[in-house]
Structure 1
């Protein structure tokens, strides 16, 4: 296994407390999260007929931002650590 892959896997596990913090920032409770996931996988046309179109769009956007921020944190940490290892080597 390459050093880069090991570093990424390690960062994914070390950031679990950060993910939990962000989860509490983005979602009120588990029911809120479950509703957000439900809206994400419900086609927009169905949400429109149910009268939940804008709620669907907001929940989908909220989940996407949560995922993007979590992935972005790992990417930024990887880039910083990679640069530190380059300088030290």
Structure 2
């Protein structure tokens, strides 16, 4: 259990450059990211009344994909690394 946790933490830190590249793919700059987070936490009904409903939906989806891809990368790397350790042991 401890080894698995150490491997996951190691992979999280090792992938920081990958997260930065993905960040630039999904978001133009930090202001774009901040607006995306703001839309994600704004209820849809409020965005509807502000006339930003579809922008809210797009930004929420964009942030969700960014998070899913970052988590997916770590999970896939962990599975591959775990299989390699299993084969070598």
When the two structures are superposed, what TM-score results if normalisation uses the length of structure 2? 0.99
Q: Which residue of 2 aligns with 1:16?
A: 16
Query: Per-residue displacement from partner, 1:6-43 (whole Å, max 9, x unpaired)?
Result: 00000000000000000000000011000000000000
User: Aligned partners of 1:56 and 1:2: how far apart in 2?
Assistant: 40
Query: Per-residue displacement from partner, 1:40-82 (whole Å, max 9, x unpaired)?
Result: 0000000000000000000000000000000000000000000
After TM superposition, the runs of 4+ consecutive aligned structure 1 residues lying more than 3 A away are none
User: Are positions 1:59 and 2:59 aligned together?
Assistant: yes
User: Aligned partners of 1:10 and 1:34: how far apart in 2?
Assistant: 27
**How is 1:38-53 mapped onto 2 (pairs within 5 angstroms)?**
38-53=38-53
**CA RMSD, aligned part only?**
0.7
Query: How many positions carry a matched residue from both structures?
Result: 89
When the two structures are superposed, what TM-score results if normalisation uses the length of structure 1? 0.99
Q: Which residue of 1 aligns with 2:77?
A: 77
Structure 1, gaps ≥5 residues long: none
